[in-house]
Chain A
Amino acid sequence: KAGVTQTPRYLIKTRGQQVTLSCSPISGHRSVSWYQQTPGQGLQFLFEYFSETQRNKGNFPGRFSGRQFSNSRSEMNVSTLELGDSALYLCASSFLAGDNNEQFFGPGTRLTVL
């Protein structure tokens, strides 16, 4: 079956702009999590959605938001972009949320903020 897909793969924005990233999970998976990966901080958890509800949120400012649709597809939005938001944004899906469910990651969206 098809893996997790993320669009776009690459994005260049300027400070102050906003951006929306999209994630389509594996068919049948209802949980979607988002991560930010930078060389200095590694993989950091942003939020997790299950059945259109946010289950958990990481320690990121309110400029970072997300949502999940009834077909389990998810979007994340970053408003008022800052230079430090440049990172690889990864989405992961799993069949269920929580516990020890294996996560399947997408290829990521590389965001560059100028």
Chain B
Amino acid sequence: SQKIEQNSEALNIQEGKTATLTCNYTNYSPAYLQWYRQDPGRGPVFLLLIRENEKEKRKERLKVTFDTTLKQSLFHITASQPADSATYLCAYRDDKIIFGKGTRLHILP
């Protein structure tokens, strides 16, 4: 069955540094990957989508890469701030959307 895995349950990063989150998928070759942010007690918020023919996508301080050979997407937040602390989810769709369990990111002041 398709699986999507995110690199760790929690990641602590010093403010101002770049945070890098990993999303690996198996048994499937998605045409695109989505990244979402979720704050406690709230629903996920869409951040970025990257297609399989795009190596990299940027939005302000966010950058996503998609390596179809490694079956991996990396999500970067540059110049991280405490307000970036949240859980970040990756997802793809085959006939239904499949989410990873998410990585909790803590930006330390």
Q: Tell whether, in the assembled complex, residue B43 and residue A42 are in contact, meaning their CB atoms are under 8 Å apart.
A: no
Asked if B101 and A33 make an inter-chain contact with CB atoms under 8 angstroms apart, the answer reads no
Partner pick for B100 among A35, A42, A57, A103, CB 8 A cutoff? A42
CA distance A33 to B44 in the complex (A): 13
Looking at chain A's contact residues, is the secondary structure mostly helix, strand, loop, or mixed?
Answer: strand
Q: Scan residues 64-109 of chain B and give those whose CB is less than 8 A from a CB of chain A.
A: 89, 91, 93, 95-102
Q: Which of B42, B51, B98, B102 contacts A45 (CB 8 A)?
A: B98
A-B contact count (CB 8 A): 52
Looking at the assembled complex, report how far the CB atom of A96 sits from the nearest CB atom of chain B, in whole angstroms.
12
A100, B46: Cβ atoms closer than 8 Å: no
* C-alpha spacing A102/B97, complex, angstroms: 11
* Chain A residues closer than 8 Å to B89, beta-carbon distance: 42-43
Among A45, A98, A106, A107: residue with most chain B CB under 10 A:
A45
Interface size on A, residues (CB 8 A): 24
Top 7 A-B residue pairs of the complex, sorted by shortest distance between their CB atoms: A105-B43, A42-B101, A43-B99, A56-B96, A45-B96, A102-B46, A100-B32
10 contacts between A and B (CB under 8 A): A42-B89, A43-B101, A45-B98, A90-B44, A92-B43, A99-B93, A100-B32, A100-B93, A102-B46, A106-B43
Residues of chain B at the chain A interface (Cβ within 8 Å): 31-32, 34, 41-46, 49, 51, 89, 91, 93, 95-102
